[in-house]
């Protein structure tokens, strides 16, 4: 059941309606049933619901023992049990074949591959469950005595497909005290859903036709097409992933829950480190709190700090999948972030001698362009993993065939079916979205403050854009596979 299917919309509408018919004390239990019904909709997911239930039960029991026990050794043992169990599930379902290849190379024996289907939302619900156990161990979260409330948190269906990765201290008060029905909340949630569908179906899915065509055969493409596809992939990825999060936040809002915001105008970042503080905030925050800080964070020397940053990004690359290209993407981002962090004091002192930096607006513009350039260069590895392309062939091809650059890009666009008015529509739509979301603005909150005429004009405009230019049936969300 994908977020862009009519089945999902029907399921969500029925769940929301029935949810508000129940007394508030009963709603978390109904949503728990709805979560598992959503999970078991696809036949291949039904046996794997036991993995979700098992991870929930193990982390809840471990958290309960950790929170109630005063024996430090026992607390550590159950923490290791929870963390080991969570990592073990990830290793088995996502990384077994990669580990099998490594063991085969080390031992010389043939370690068999397994054709495993990863449970839906494995990386998301595992990280959410682990965060609860670790927070209880650190005494940042109270023990949850109600297993069913905790199970509802781990399996919450709006976050199951592509996050955001929630924390229990944030969601717990909302589960314990369900909100009354609110027209204003539902109207804001519906527009957030509509906004997400527009970003996904109008912009991301149309761009994916060109990006997939170019990255599907990079050896046959010239430099202009490879550069254009890489730049457009950055826009596609943002519109796809943030659009999914908009839908998830809108659905949760209508159900009475406020989720973590996952993006904060990342393309306005003026450094690579700031970019990752604005992009996929729930994941970067998770790695910061549970990997970077325990390694020493910024409390140690510069060399150790840079090593910690590298480790975090390498783990982040592996989180996305068992593919060397994701690992190289993580290495690229880690090296760029570490160098940026280490050289920041020197660069800041040199700014006063740079004539281009004397005007603040020009300095900010140049820093944003440099940050965006680093991001798109790193995405060559990411896109290579998604489309099974050789990143080094893409890098090599970017410097070739720049004669008649625009004509070659225009021809390829026409070959993929992006012609006529569609390029203009996509350019205007992307510009409108980026402008509307600038400075971390909440579009749903902003539109609720507008007058009736403007508000409903925007509603109809977004709906018409989806109906007229939406790429129906193109693809699932990119981050759904992670």
Catalytic residue numbers? 320
Cα angle for residues 456, 461, 465 (degrees, 5° grid): 150
Cα–Cα separations (whole angstroms), residue 39 to 8, 77, 85, 271: 12, 31, 21, 39
What does each C-alpha distance from 379 to 50, 330, 387, 482 come to in angstroms? 35, 10, 12, 16
**Residues 6+ away with beta carbon under 8 Å from 193:** 246, 247, 250, 251
Q: CA angle at residue 338 from 337 to 344, to 5 degrees?
A: 85
Q: CA-to-CA distance for 276 and 338, rounded, in angstroms?
A: 12
Using the Cα atoms of residue 61, residue 62, residue 68 and residue 74 in order, give the sign of their dihedral. Answer: positive
223/207 Cα distance (integer angstroms): 18
Q: What CA–CA distance (Å, rounded) separates 344 from 10?
A: 51
Please state, in angstroms and rounded to a whole number, the distance separating the CA atoms of residues 435 and 2. Answer: 28
């Amino acid at each position: 059941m994908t977020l862009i299917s009519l089945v999902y919309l029907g399921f969500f509408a029925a769940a929301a309606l029935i949810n508000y018919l129940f007394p508030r004390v009963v709603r978390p239990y109904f949503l728990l049933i709805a979560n598992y019904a959503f999970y078991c909709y696809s036949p291949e997911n039904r046996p794997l619901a036991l993995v979700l239930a098992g991870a929930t039960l193990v982390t809840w029991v471990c958290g309960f023992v950790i929170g109630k026990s005063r024996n430090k050794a026992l607390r550590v043992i159950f923490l290791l049990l929870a963390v080991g169990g969570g990592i073990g599930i990830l290793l088995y379902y996502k990384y077994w074949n990669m580990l099998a290849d490594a063991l085969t190379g080390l031992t010389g024996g043939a370690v068999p591959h397994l054709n495993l289907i990863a449970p839906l939302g494995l990386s998301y619900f595992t990280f959410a469950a682990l965060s609860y156990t670790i927070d209880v161990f650190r005494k940042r979260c109270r023990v949850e005595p109600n297993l069913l409330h905790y199970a509802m948190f781990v399996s919450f269906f709006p976050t199951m497909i592509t996050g955001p990765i929630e924390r229990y201290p944030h969601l717990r008060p909302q589960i314990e005290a369900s909100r009354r029905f609110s027209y204003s909340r539902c109207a804001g949630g519906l527009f957030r859903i509509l906004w997400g569908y527009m970003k996904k179906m109008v912009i991301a899915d149309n761009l994916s036709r060109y990006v997939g065509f170019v990255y599907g055969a990079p050896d046959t493409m010239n430099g202009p097409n490879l550069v254009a596809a890489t730049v457009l992939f950055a826009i596609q990825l943002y519109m796809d992933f943030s659009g999914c999060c908009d839908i998830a936040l809108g659905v949760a809002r209508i159900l009475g829950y406020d989720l973590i915001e996952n993006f904060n105008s990342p393309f306005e970042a003026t450094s690579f480190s700031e970019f990752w503080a604005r992009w996929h905030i729930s994941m970067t925050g998770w790695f910061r709190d549970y990997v970077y800080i325990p390694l020493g964070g910024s409390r140690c020397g510069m060399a150790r700090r840079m090593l910690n940053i590298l480790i975090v990004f390498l783990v982040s690359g592996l989180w996305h999948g068992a593919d060397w290209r994701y690992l190289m993407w993580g290495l690229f981002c880690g090296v760029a972030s570490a160098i940026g962090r280490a050289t920041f004091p020197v660069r800041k002192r040199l700014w006063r001698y740079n004539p281009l930096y004397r005007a603040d607006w020009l300095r900010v513009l140049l820093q944003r362009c440099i940050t965006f350039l680093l991001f798109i260069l790193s995405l060559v590895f990411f896109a290579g993993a998604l489309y099974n392309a050789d990143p080094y062939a893409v890098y090599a091809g970017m410097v070739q065939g720049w004669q008649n650059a625009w004509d070659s890009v225009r021809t390829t666009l026409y070959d993929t079916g992006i012609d006529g008015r569609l390029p203009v529509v996509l350019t205007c739509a992307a510009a409108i979205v980026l402008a509307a979301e600038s400075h971390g603005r909440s579009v749903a909150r902003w539109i609720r403050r507008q007058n009736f005429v403007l508000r409903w004009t925007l509603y109809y405009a977004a709906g018409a854009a989806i109906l007229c230019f939406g790429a129906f049936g193109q693809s699932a969300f990119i981050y759904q596979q992670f």
